[in-house]
Structure 1
Amino acid sequence: MTDLDVAVGLHDPAGKLLVDRIGADATVVAIGSAEADALGVVPASVVGAGAGRLYDAASLRRLHDMLAHDRHEPPARAFPVTMLRGDGSRIELMAIAVRGGTPDRPVLDVFKAPGPDGGEFLDLAESNEIMRAIIQKAREAIWCIRYDRPVDVTVSTDEIVDQIFEHPSVWCMCNTAMARAYDLDDETDLNGRNVRFHWPRNAVNEAFIREVIANGFQVEGAISEDYRRDGTPVLMENDVRAHIADGRLHRLWGTLREVKPGGFEVRRERSDYAALAFELLP
């Protein structure tokens, strides 16, 4: 058992949390036993190595950004993360990263829930005091759309788009920040409710879903058009992941943030979709 296991175990006696600590130079300072087992790696083989041994390039960029982040900003951040198993396969999870250490030598404790799709994240967050506190304090708006009738992703793109908007779906795993993005009081006004009022089918959102599909259901900064409680449309930038099993989409999930006027920079790899989103606005 590592020192990190001992610290986390005070709040997680069942040992379900996956956790690692990343140092200021983006090296792995420590890794919990549960995470090492889930990834199929030996702790001694990754401690001291670059965090790229555990995270894909997009996730690594996010960790670098957090390590360089202004210490006066909220210390806890949530984001979808892709981790790398020892055999080269990937695992999609929701992560909560908490910045600590000193201003000159920051560290990140990165918590993840187990399960190949992050499906246990909500249950764990509700039953575990450290995860519950962190997710509610997270600045990022966390969302998940659960499909009561899974979407067949083996068919054509047009058919996938139709199913995504036509199959019954509800919000789940939304936090308070997500509710506030829609001018709602708290997450109870979203979780368990139909997604269509706040995220309807329209030209912008069809373009958003096509971008998600084109990128293998793993995309950063995809633009959607959401609606606040009073019906006001607002553009949101989303980092998206998905739970797909046996050719069926069960959940779309991720984080979002509002696109502020004049504050959006089109990244080259998604310029066509982002430009289309703005052109399709009424």
Structure 2
Amino acid sequence: MIETRDVNERMNTALDMDSLLIDWIDVEGRISRISDREARELAIDPRTVIGMPLESVYSGVSASLIRAVARGERTADRSFPVWMNSGPYGEMAMVASAFADGPNGLAILKQPLTPPTLGIGAELVERVEILSQMIGAATDACWCIEFLEPVDTSLAEEEIVEQIFRNRSRWRACNEAMSRLYRVPDDQDFNTQPVSRYFPATEINRRMVRDLVRSNYRLDRAQAVDRRHDNSEMLVENDFRAAVKDGLLIRLWGTTRDIGIHRKREQQLYDRAETMLDILSATPDPILVISDDGLLQAANPAAETAWGRPVDQMLGRPLQHFVETRNVLEKLLQAALEEEEAGDSECDLVIISASDSRDSWRFRAARIEGEMRRYVLTARKKPRRKSRLTAQEALS
């Protein structure tokens, strides 16, 4: 029988071989050592991962399995599949075996799995390619934040928010539209950039994350102020989804839209509307807006003053209710049509004021372009005709 000491010495000798993909995990489930070959295969600096959580090397599900084995919470099969993080956003399928290596902790020995070895590899690769192509070709900015240090969702709200911004994280599988949105130079990969560079822990962003936590990590049309690559601010709108496993937030993903341009346009339209309201309010002649079926939709203060009716009592009612002249809508629509064709058309209407007096007003009508056909009316009071007696008296 071979002594246990000899077995351990032989195993340790094998584990030190540079040709093996191997890392060592401590009882807390953190990386304590990594072989040179594994560092080369995964394109990482072995010194930077010491003491780091398993998610810095393994995908989320694989990390959870290995952590449970290291803590003695479950027993690993003789061999089991794992996914390793390779490069900035790639993954590599491997078959792993776990060995207890005394004071060195748990040794995870791995061998890459090629598509032929997997059997279903060709179909799996095709599906991954299809999804990658769909996301890559999307015009919307698609992103994913993976937490190398998962966030404990059992904590108080403010601590969860703090961990989302503080815990180590990285971008994964962000598409070209994301790079364009944040103006990342063509020679740089968005996925290798720090998350905090574009998603800083500002107060408005913290409020958005609070809303995300309160909505159970599913939130749409959430506004934030991000930073572009050149450090300029950008008002964006996000749709959030999340992966939470065993009470730990592993990743967030979603889409982002620049709404700064639309907000600026809205402000310009608002300013123009305010200016127009000021002009209309100062205009001494009544101005009305009616719908295609004759309902009063807007009126300026001059209309209220001229006819003695509060505007809010006129809105939504047919204009015919305040006009003694018959077929008022047909007359106005005809006037609007002639205005478009000849450029000069008017019609006279008798308006009934709140005091029940009648006065003749001359109206001009013009159609407003838009999805809903509307008409703007301007009115000017016609002077009363002098009686014949009065005229004769004036001549005498």
Specify the TM-score bucket, using the shorter chain as the normaliser: 0.3 to 0.5
* TM score, norm. by length of structure 1: 0.47
Larger radius of gyration, structure 1 or 2?
A: 2
The higher-RCO structure (CA 8 Å, 6+ apart) is 1
